[in-house]
């Protein structure tokens, strides 16, 4: 915090003049005196941050006033300190030179003490007011920059969330996107160094590398049995897999928040669509050739290829860095741009070390009462010159109208809570959204019962408010608000507290912004739901089942539960005899029958192929899973007859119980799998409950066996 300016420097070689001026201001300020220009420069160098104003004579020995001002200006000592010239000279040349040097006013000798006092105090208060405004403007600029960065981080977080969902569903490690983003950035910079044709601004490079995160978003629409198949895909399966580039573009088209920056959206779209195109035209989906493929999509494709080779995937192990580089150079992964390939080979030796390192609001209007005609710290402040004040008032009003127009265009809600007046002033959008007046009196009582904030969120905000301080002035939270139609919507709330810089610990106001994130919240929820759904049967998938099992184990205490693996016997024969389309239809009917047999709060999911996972909560009778398995055998047999599959369909079931057989997810799933294996070994169409004797039996996981087939 800058120290209060409480000194006046009086510079005059006549001691009587200095004495008169000292008498005028000694009650309110500490006085510094100099009898020549040289001494005044020395005092300014020492105290300029504390000097409120300088009263400077022109004609003095050693160094005159104008010479002293030239030196002060050269040293930057007068930028925030007003200078008065006090002189008997009436020469226009002298006075004009003084104004060119930054003098704010000229007082001619002999002077009127009352007149000087008024003019000096008015200028001091005007400078203080201007300094406050400059400080507030700078604070607002800093806050806007910080908030813009927070918004950008939020968009990055949303993109990372979507990409993480895809990686989780694709059984990736979670670091794939981070590595290719970093590698893309490195190669973009290196291509720019090698050729001016490819040189890009740093911001563009950041935007392109960020766009890398959603390159495989279309894999959300690819069935699990293809996406996570451990072996080589068939021709038909590969045709389905290739569609992920087009599905991804359709998904990007539906995310409105990405389209706000058209240039960045173009990078997202082109990388998503063309990251499997090849230099020789052998890629997909459009068979682009050579420079028809944007250079950044080519670079990303090479980065993706390198990371795929050096990473473990469900269908292969990881190649070493050296093996991967050799394979790319030899064209075993398709043809790349020769110029790009040379760039890659140049930086290849340093890639392992780099990729393994750790690297990788509209302004709110503040209302301040004008300081004229008031008292400051018990000292009299005189009215400023009305012409100057009228102009300032007009300019401030114009700025206020501009801000009001900006608020209206943004669609966001801004507010200013005046602590001393206990009032809140909202922007006009508040009335449009919540049907309330924009000026709220008795603000504390209003906030403690705010019917527009969901109760849990209101309690959270009240708790956060109690933690605000000068060192911790603000917070950002997502809250649920109820609009005038009674609809619950998500908003992001930015709050900043303004503190009195003259009185420590005194809060002046709370200012903030509310902007809707409801659509984005719902989009992320939909993508998460889609990522955890089996696209064929509309049941949950493996990821959904594992998450729900984790949640259940966290919640359970005395409750008993059952974990069941179900395998449809002979279903492979249905596909072989009638084809996959017919088989898929039958599998959907089987999934429907399984769903009918269980309670609404049981968890049912398809974990791949014809295998299902059932989690039954609150099991009172351990015979219940056996009864359900018996019902399922009859139901699935009936499906086979009705669909005329010409294959004897049945179901094998393995069951493990919580907590008797285990208290953690891995143990329960493993034991249920062993029971399923035993049921299959006994000739199928059986239900086996896990027992300790099964530990001595030779075992091969049914899921692993099914995936290997």
Helices 262-274, 295-310: axis angle to 10 degrees equals 50
Distances in Å between the alpha carbon of 366 and those of 133, 143, 396, 416, 477?
10, 13, 11, 7, 22
pLDDT of residue 481: 92
pLDDT of residue 277: 92
- Compute φ and ψ for 35, nearest 5 degrees: -105, 5
* pTM summary value: 0.40
What's the average model confidence in pLDDT over 622-628? 87
Give DSSP secondary structure letters for 395-444: HHHHHHHHHHHHHHHH--EEEEEETTTTEEEE-THHHHHH---SEEESHH
pLDDT band at 387 (very low <50, low <70, confident <90, very high): very low
Ordered by where they begin, the domains of the chain are 7-111 (3.40.50.2300), 170-355 (1.10.3210.10), 413-522 (3.30.450.20), 532-708 (3.30.70.270)
Q: E strands along 201-265, which residues?
A: none
Q: Which of 135-144, 609-618, 669-678 has the lowest mean pLDDT?
A: 135-144
Neighbouring-strand partners of residue 440:
424
Structure tokens at 9: 């420097």
For residue 614, give the 3-state DSSP assignment.
Answer: strand
What's the average model confidence in pLDDT over 456-478? 86
Q: Which residues contact 70 (CB under 8 A, 6 or more apart)?
A: 101
- Compute φ and ψ for 265, nearest 5 degrees: -60, -40
Structure tokens at 171: 């059984």
pLDDT band at 254 (very low <50, low <70, confident <90, very high): confident
CA distance 51 to 84: 13
Output the average pLDDT for the chain.
80
What's the average model confidence in pLDDT over 178-196? 87
Counting residues of the chain whose pLDDT is more than 70, the rounded percentage is 82
Q: For residue 613, is pLDDT > 90? A: yes
Of 552, 703, 568, 674, the residue nearest 616 (C-alpha): 552
Of 126, 131, 86, the residue nearest 382 (C-alpha): 126
Helices 338-347, 321-329: axis angle to 10 degrees equals 160
Catalytic member of 610, 661, 664, 673:
610
Tell me the pLDDT tens digit for each residue of 309-351.
Answer: 888 776 677 888 899 899 999 888 889 999 999 999 998 888 8
State how far Cα 579 lies from the chain centre: 47
What's the average model confidence in pLDDT over 44-49? 84
Residues 503, 513 contacting (CB under 8 angstroms) = no
pLDDT of residue 707: 41
Residue 413 sits at the vertex; the CA angle it makes with 412 and 414, to the nearest 5 degrees, is 120
CA distance 610 to 593: 13
**307 has catalytic annotation:** no
Q: E strands along 3-43, which residues?
A: 7-11, 30-34
pLDDT of residue 376: 31
Tell me the pLDDT tens digit for each residue of 640-655.
Answer: 888 888 888 999 999 9
pLDDT of residue 384: 34
Q: Compare 450 and 625 and report the one with higher pLDDT.
A: 625
């Amino acid at each position: 915090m800058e120290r209060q300016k409480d000194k006046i420097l009086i510079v005059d070689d006549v001691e009587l003049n200095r004495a008169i001026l000292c008498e005028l201001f000694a009650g309110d300020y500490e006085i510094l005196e100099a009898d020549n220009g040289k001494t005044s420069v020395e005092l300014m160098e020492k105290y300029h941050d504390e000097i409120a104003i300088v009263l400077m004579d022109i004609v003095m020995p050693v160094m005159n006033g104008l010479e002293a001002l030239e030196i002060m200006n050269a040293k930057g000592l007068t930028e925030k300190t007003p200078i008065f010239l006090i002189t008997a000279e009436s020469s226009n040349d002298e006075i004009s030179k003084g104004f060119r040097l930054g003098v704010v006013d000229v007082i001619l000798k002999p002077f009127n003490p009352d007149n000087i006092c008024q003019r000096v105090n008015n200028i001091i208060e005007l400078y203080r007011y201007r300094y406050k405004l400059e400080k507030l403007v700078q604070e607002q600029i800093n806050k806007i920059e910080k908030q813009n960065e927070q918004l950008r981080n939020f968009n990055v977080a949303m993109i990372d969330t979507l990409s993480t969902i895809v990686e989780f569903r694709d059984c990736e490690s979670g670091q794939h996107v981070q590595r290719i983003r970093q590698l893309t950035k490195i190669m973009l910079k290196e291509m720019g160094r090698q050729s001016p044709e490819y040189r890009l601004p740093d911001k563009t490079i950041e935007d392109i590398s960020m766009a890398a995160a959603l390159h495989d978003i279309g894999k959300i629409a690819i069935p699990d049995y293809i996406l996570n198949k451990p072996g080589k895909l068939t021709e038909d399966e590969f045709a389905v897999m290739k569609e992920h580039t087009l599905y991804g573009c359709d998904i990007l088209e539906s995310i409105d928040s990405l389209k706000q920056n058209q240039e960045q959206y173009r990078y997202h779209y082109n990388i998503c669509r063309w990251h499997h195109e090849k230099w020789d035209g052998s890629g997909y989906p459009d068979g682009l050739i050579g420079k028809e493929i944007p250079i950044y999509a080519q670079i990303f494709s090479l980065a993706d290829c390198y990371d795929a080779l050096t990473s473990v995937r469900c269908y292969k192990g990881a190649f070493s860095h050296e093996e991967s580089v050799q394979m790319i150079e030899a064209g075993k992964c398709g043809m790349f741009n020769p110029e790009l390939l040379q760039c890659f080979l140049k930086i290849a030796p340093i890639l392992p070390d780099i990729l393994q390192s750790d690297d990788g609001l509209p302004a709110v209007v503040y209302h301040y009462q004008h300081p004229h005609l008031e008292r400051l710290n018990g000292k009299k402040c005189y009215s400023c010159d009305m012409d100057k004040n009228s102009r300032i008032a007009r300019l401030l009003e114009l700025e206020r109208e501009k801000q009001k127009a900006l608020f209206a265009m943004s669609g966001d809600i801004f507010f200013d809570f005046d602590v001393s007046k206990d009032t809140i002033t909202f922007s006009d959008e508040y009335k449009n959204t919540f049907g309330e007046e924009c000026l709220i009196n008795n603000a504390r009582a209003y906030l403690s019962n705010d019917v527009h904030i969901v109760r849990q969120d209101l309690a959270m905000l009240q708790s956060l408010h109690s933690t605000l301080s000068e060192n911790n002035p603000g917070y950002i939270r997502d809250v649920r608000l109820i609009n005038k139609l009674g609809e619950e919507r998500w908003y992001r709330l930015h709050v900043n507290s303004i503190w009195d810089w003259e009185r420590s610990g005194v809060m002046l106001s709370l200012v903030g912004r509310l902007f809707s994130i409801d659509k984005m919240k719902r989009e992320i929820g939909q993508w998460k739901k889609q990522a955890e759904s089996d696209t064929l049967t509309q049941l949950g998938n493996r990821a959904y089942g594992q998450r729900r099992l984790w949640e259940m184990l966290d919640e359970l205490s005395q409750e008993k539960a059952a974990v069941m693996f179900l395998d449809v016997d002979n279903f492979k024969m249905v596909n072989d005899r009638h084809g996959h389309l017919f088989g898929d239809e039958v599998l959907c009917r089987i999934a429907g029958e399984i769903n009918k047999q269980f309670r609404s709060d049981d968890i049912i999911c398809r974990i791949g192929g014809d295998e299902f996972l059932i989690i039954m909560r609150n099991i009172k009778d351990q015979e219940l899973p056996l009864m359900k398995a018996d019902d399922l055998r009859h139901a699935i047999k009936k499906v086979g007859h009705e669909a005329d599959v010409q294959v004897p369909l049945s179901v094998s079931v393995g069951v493990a119980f919580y907590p008797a057989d285990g208290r953690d997810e891995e143990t329960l799933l493993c034991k249920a799998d062993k029971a399923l294996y035993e049921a299959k070994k006994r000739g199928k169409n059986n239900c086996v409950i896990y027992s300790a004797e099964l530990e001595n039996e030779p075992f091969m996981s049914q899921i692993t066996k099914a995936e290997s087939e």
